[in-house]
Structures are given as C-alpha cells and as structure tokens.
Amino acid sequence: MKIIDSRLNGILLLKPDVFEDQRGFFFECFHTEKLKSLGINQQFVQDNLSKSSVGTIRGLHFQQPPFDQGKLCQVISGRVLDVVVDIRKGSPTYGEHFSTELSDENHHMVWIPPGFAHGFSVLSPIAIFHYKCTGFYNKSSERTLLYNDSTLEINWKVDNHIVSEKDTQGEPLASLDTQFLYKI
C-alpha cells in the first residue's frame, strides 16, 4: 500500500497493491499492521455502506468530540468525488478542502481522522460507498457543514444535485461550531 499526497495534513490518500489478471483483481482493503505502518493506528468499531444514484451529494458530515470519528473510505462499485474539509481551529489549512475520485477501478481509499468534515458526490449511475469508523454513530454529536457554502469553493462535479433536507440545512463555515483544535 502506498500513500499519495493529499495536501491537507492528516488526510491520507491510499493506493493499495492490486493484483490483476484475466480473472479480475485482488487486493487487501484492510490490514491492521499495514495501516499501522502508514500511521493509521486505530481501532475500527463500525462499518457503514451506502448506495446512491448519480448526482447525489452526501455531506459534509462530522461528529463533535467526544464522539468524533475517523473514517477509512472506499468505493465498492461506481465512482464518487470524495471531499474533505479541514475544520480544526488554528490549522494553517482551516476551511480548505481536498477532493479526489474514488472508484471501483482505481481502488483508492481515503483516511480521514477526526477534525475534518466529509462528503461525496456520485459521478456514476450508482455508487456503493463503504467506510470503517473509529467511533460509533452518535446522533446528538452529529453536525453538518453546508455542502454548497460559497467560501469553500467546492466543485462537486455533478449537475441536478440530489441532497437530503438535513444536508441543505448545514451550517456555513463562518458560523460553524467546531470543537476540533489543530495539534502540531
């Protein structure tokens, strides 16, 4: 497994070693020791899976401490634009975002530690998105950063957005109540 630079401190874009032949492919999408060697020394406690249609935007979600979550994300089928926004107060990249395409063809994965809001848009007719979490879902600590906040300048690369009511009511970055602090 290799790390590809993400431009935001803490976010890791992972490229697994994929073995392909006429039968198809094989790769390890989760290996505790290999992840530890890359600096991801976490205990995962919950797996989530979503199926979404083209144009869907999910996010930008996070949970406040002490219920914060790290996420290891990948696409099982289809293509998405994965987006992460730095919401750590005092971070030199506060409010900046990183986006990358995750697909069933490139097999890339993204590690998102606590302190980042996360979302994705669906670029293919259907996408099945999987992520492992380091904390359990906690409704009372869940927050949403407004996906279309103009200060974030995110190009979701989809037309005719399909967005949940909850996500359309997210907070803009300027008024976001985040408890995450940047640690050097």
Secondary element (H or E) of residue 35: helix 32-37
Tokens standing for 143? 């927050």
User: Which of 3.40.50.11690, 3.40.225.10, 2.60.120.10, 3.40.50.11900 would CATH assign to domain 2-16+39-167?
Assistant: 2.60.120.10
Q: Cα(164)–Cα(119) distance, rounded to whole angstroms?
A: 12
Q: What is the pLDDT of residue 29?
A: 86
End-to-end CA distance of the chain: give it in Å, rounded: 26
State the average pLDDT over residues 172-176: 97
Q: What is the pLDDT of residue 6?
A: 81
Indicate the pTM of the whole model: 0.94
Q: Cα(118)–Cα(73) distance, rounded to whole angstroms?
A: 10
Query: For residue 24, what pLDDT band results from cuts at 50, 70 and 90?
Result: confident
Please determine, for residue 184, whether its predicted confidence score (pLDDT) is greater than 80.
no
Q: What is the pLDDT of residue 86?
A: 98
Tokens standing for 10? 């803490």
- Give catalytic residues, as residue numbers: 61, 131
Domain boundaries, the chain: 2-16+39-167
